[in-house]
């Protein structure tokens, strides 16, 4: 295989047959020093993100913050409404009937926690993003079916078209393609 040095490419893509091959290739690439890379698969593979060195997400924190804001907001709103803005005597119960306020508080905790998580997940993933260089490779459509891909980006400091291609060939992929921008 011969390659011209074209700095305009996004990276190199290797295609694999199984999840095990992908994870092993990713681990090999990581220990070879590549960092700006990504593994693509038709279903979540925990080991793949681990192999990329991507261990922690901020999703739980976002959900926690969303839930706390939703819950405390709901409680504060009920307190303000029932004790300050519009005090209403119902059957002689105290204005600050906190037991009754728990239910809307709980519901709003779940609502805001859940929505914060969903929007946070899409935002951190940079979605919606209808166009991405990886889609320029025709074979890549198989990632939504039964093939696994490893992409090393040209932006990686260790990236060199010739040596990286040789490295990728050593991983024994089904195919290697250049990913144009």
By C-beta, is 163 or 175 nearer to other proteins? 175
* Smallest distance from other proteins to CB 145, Å: 5
By C-beta, is 131 or 181 nearer to other proteins? 131
Q: How far apart are CA 179 and CA 166, in angstroms?
A: 16
Cα angle for residues 107, 73, 64 (degrees, 5° grid): 70
By C-beta, is 6 or 54 nearer to other proteins? 54
Give CA separation, 119 vs 61, 62, 104, in Å: 13, 9, 22
* Smallest distance from other proteins to CB 25, Å: 12
* Smallest distance from other proteins to CB 170, Å: 16
Sequence-separated (6 or more) residues with CB below 8 Å from residue 131: none
CB 29 within 8 A of CB 176: no
CB 88 within 8 A of CB 82: yes
* Smallest distance from other proteins to CB 14, Å: 14
Q: How far apart are CA 78 and CA 142, in angstroms?
A: 52
Query: What's the alpha-carbon Rg for the chain, to the nearest Å?
Result: 25
Cα angle for residues 72, 78, 83 (degrees, 5° grid): 125
* Smallest distance from other proteins to CB 131, Å: 7
Q: How far apart are CA 20 and CA 29, in angstroms?
A: 14
By C-beta, is 33 or 60 nearer to other proteins? 60
* Smallest distance from other proteins to CB 77, Å: 6
Tokens standing for residue 32:
């070879």
By CB under 8 A, name the binding residues for other proteins.
18-20, 23-24, 26, 38-49, 51-52, 54, 57, 59-60, 63, 67, 77-78, 81-82, 85-86, 88, 90, 93, 97, 100-101, 103-104, 106-108, 110-111, 113-115, 117-118, 120-122, 124-125, 127-132, 134-135, 140-146
By C-beta, is 7 or 128 nearer to other proteins? 128
By C-beta, is 103 or 162 nearer to other proteins? 103
């Amino acid at each position: 295989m011969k390659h011209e040095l074209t700095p305009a490419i996004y990276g190199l893509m290797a295609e694999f047959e199984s999840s095990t091959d992908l994870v092993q290739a990713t681990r090999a690439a990581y220990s070879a020093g590549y960092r700006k890379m990504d593994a693509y698969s038709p279903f979540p593979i925990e080991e793949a993100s681990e192999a990329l060195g991507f261990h922690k997400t901020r999703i739980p924190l976002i959900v926690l913050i969303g839930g706390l804001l939703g819950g405390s907001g709901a409680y504060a709103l009920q307190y303000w409404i029932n004790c300050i803005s519009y005090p209403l005597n119902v059957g002689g119960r105290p204005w600050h009937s906190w037991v009754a306020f728990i239910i809307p508080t709980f519901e709003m905790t779940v609502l805001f926690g859940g929505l914060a998580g969903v929007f946070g997940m899409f935002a951190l993933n940079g979605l919606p993003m209808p166009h991405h260089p990886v889609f320029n490779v025709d074979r890549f459509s198989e990632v939504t079916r039964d093939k696994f891909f490893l992409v090393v980006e040209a932006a990686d400091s260790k990236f060199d078209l010739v040596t990286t291609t040789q490295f990728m060939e050593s991983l024994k992929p089904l195919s290697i393609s250049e990913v144009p921008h």
